[in-house]
A and B are shown apart, each in its own frame.
Chain A
Amino acid sequence: MTAVLPESGSADRGPARAKPVHRSRWTSRTAIYFVLVLAAAYSILPLIWLVTASTKSLGDFSTTSAFEFGDFNLWNNIQTLFAQDGGVFVAWIRNSVLYAFVGALIGALICAACGYAIAKIPFRGRNLLFGLTLTGVLVPTTALALPLYLLASELRMVDTFWAVFIPVLTNPFGVYLARVYTDSAVPDEILEAARIDGASEVRTFFTVAMPLMRPGIVTVFLFQFVAIWNNFFLPLIMLTDPKLFPVSLGLYQWSNRATQFPDYNPLVITGSMLAILPLILAFVVLQRQWRSGLAAGGIK
């Protein structure tokens, strides 16, 4: 289906040279908008379905059509959701925020410091460190999960907050990005001036380099936030205590129960809706940041 699209566009353009310009403009514009509307509908309709579905009671799924509102059960669903299993859903949301937001914040700072050091401070083993960092980018998380689990169990850290929080701080790609940003955004002359003024290297980093690197650090933060938020394998194998789950693991567990107890279905749907609402809002509000962030990451 996708292969056909550009050709239909070109077919409109083909005879255009013979005909008046206005008509060809108009038809190609219609074709373009048609494709864009299709793509937008494909992307958005499942989300709209999630919203309408979260207003339904279990019985309404079979009696109402997909995008139709049933009896308005949203408040009821939300109340059940927050009361289920002793209000564990609130803990899941809190945990997700802790893992992803705090993790990405600390992680981005660590990446920025290391990327800056590799770019600006000559120290022994810096090429080795950078080479290992680049290798680290290529190691798939699924290959790391098992040895991490076994190491954590040696250290008696399995099923603790730290078993998930510490590994997700590591972001080799972030160090690579931070190094590239430092090279382009922090001129040597400024650092030299700060050194002459007697500032220590560490102080120079925090007061001189970091403000200059801020757009780059925000990018690293956003990438890492999304990566941690999406990381499912690690919490899945590390955690058994539901109070430590991030929201995605919790909803997965409920969806497993739903095969035996269909009453969980509205909870999973309403929970998913509430869990993604703040994310979608954040992405709409922070458009400028992630757009420039993706641009920087994509060109590399």
Chain B
Amino acid sequence: MSVSAPHRPSSDADSRCAPRKRRRKPPRRTGLAAFALAGPFTVLLVGTVLIPVAYAVYLSLFTDRFSGLGFESPRRVFIALGNYWDVLADPAFQVSIRNVVAFALIQVPLMIALALVLAMLLDSAVVRLKQMWSLAVFLPYALPGVIAGLIWAYLYSPGIGPIADLLPFDPLSSGAVLSSIVNIATWQWVGYNVIIFYTALQAVPKELTEAAHVDGAGAFRIAYSIKTPMIKPTIFVSAVFSIIGSLQLFTEPLILRTFTSAVNSTWTPSLYVYESAFVSGDYGRAAAAAVILALASAVLSALVMRLSKRSNR
């Protein structure tokens, strides 16, 4: 299902250039050249993506059983989808899914809306020093996630950062930690999306907006009814990447774990995978959770792609 959406451009392009290519053919020479040029990446793709994916699927179908009193080393036993049922029935996994879904539902629309507003403002004629403003909001993107997480963790910490003193509630308490993580992710990524949207806005034909202006549409009306629909494909792509990113949420909660007990060791699915594999040592369960995570992101992105295609027609 993941292949169906992005596959179309490739077949388009091939049908376009294939007949031209067929005319000249020194097959042996091009075969060697293709081997030399495409070979290194193919080896990497097979070795670091395809084999690991297959291995993860294989692992997810087995579990380690101790026979007798557990004096012998464990046996690997085939249990088909057993690990998947275990993971899906595990309350800890369900909570982790609920956490990232809540995170995505708040963070993605908030960040996209904020980025869209800022991009529209930058796009408006009255603003000067556009480069400077966009650079300012973009800078947090340059930070590694760990360091962004550490900065905010310190800012949230009472006694070190100012935020705990300013807010009427504790940003690291269990009720507030989700919004605190939403804030970290938004801070890091909003500028990136501003630049993407702003660039897309540059491509909106000036005649369109001018015509609307002559017809008496205000700036807000033009932004909402003309510019936003024009850059809808870009917004969709950003949304897909943000949703996939949300599902994989790992670094920020892991960092906050050292600062608060409100984030437990299985707070997101990625943390759940990490915990199952490297703390509990249950590779089968960890692999099953990882496969579920990968399938969920593939299905989601295919779905959003499908929706965006339909709305463009």
Contacts and interface: CB of A to CB of B under 8 A. Distances in A.
A78 interface: no
A6 B147 contact: no
Given A6-B220, A13-B220, A110-B40, A248 B144 contact: yes
Contacts of B6: 134, 137
A232 B144 contact: yes
B53 A110 contact: no
**Interface residues of B, dominant DSSP:** helix
Contacts of A249: 146
Interface stretch (A69-77, A80-88, A200-208, A211-219): A200-208
A188 B17 CA distance: 10
Nearest to A248: B146
B18 A44 contact: no
A127 to B, nearest CB: 6
Nearest to B192: A294
From B56, B110, B224, residue with most partner A Cβ within 10 Å: B56
B33 A202 contact: yes
Contacts of B237: 298, 300
A232 B283 contact: no
A139 B49 contact: yes
A251 B150 CA distance: 9
Contact of B248 (A119, A133, A142, A147): A142
A16 B216 CA distance: 11
Contacts of B141: 226
B199 A116 contact: no
A279 interface: yes
A204 to B, nearest CB: 8
B21 interface: yes
B44 A138 contact: no
**Interface residues of A, dominant DSSP:** helix
Given A53-B154, A139-B294, A13 B219 contact: yes
A233 B136 contact: no
A143 B159 contact: no
Contacts of B244: 138, 140
Contacts, number: 326
A32 B125 CA distance: 11
Given A117-B34, A287-B135, A138 B218 contact: no
A32 B127 contact: yes
Contacts of B203: 299
Contacts of A272: 147, 150-151
B297 A294 contact: no
A146 B56 contact: yes
A131 B10 contact: yes
B74 interface: no
B208 interface: no
Contact of B187 (A42, A116, A132, A259): A42
Interface residues of B, number: 119
Contacts of B126: 25, 28-29, 32
A288 to B, nearest CB: 10
B59 interface: yes
Contacts of B152: 46
Contacts of B142: 226, 276, 279-280, 282-283
Contact of B270 (A9, A10, A142, A188): A142
A129 B50 CA distance: 11
Contacts of B136: 39-40, 43-44
Interface stretch (B65-73, B113-121, B172-180): B113-121
Contact of A123 (B30, B56, B270, B290): B30
Contacts of B35: 123
Contacts of B219: 9-10, 13, 28
Contact of B143 (A65, A192, A259, A276): A276
B162 A66 contact: yes
Contacts of A104: none
Nearest to A5: B117
Contacts of A291: 195, 199
B250 A36 contact: no
A209 to B, nearest CB: 10
Nearest to A53: B154
Contacts of B2: 135, 138
12 contacts: A2-B117, A13-B220, A39-B136, A49-B155, A113-B38, A138-B297, A140-B294, A142-B250, A142-B273, A232-B146, A294-B196, A298-B237
Nearest 6 A/B pairs, CB to CB: A201-B33, A10-B220, A66-B162, A123-B34, A298-B196, A114-B41
Interface of A: 2-3, 5-7, 9-10, 13-14, 16-17, 25, 28-29, 32-33, 35-36, 39-40, 42-44, 46-47, 49-50, 53, 61-62, 65-67, 110-111, 113-114, 116-119, 121-124, 126-127, 129-151, 166-167, 169-170, 172, 175, 183, 188, 192, 195, 200-202, 205, 226, 229-230, 232-233, 237, 247-249, 251-252, 255-256, 258-259, 265, 268-269, 272, 275-276, 279-280, 282-284, 287, 291, 294-295, 297-300
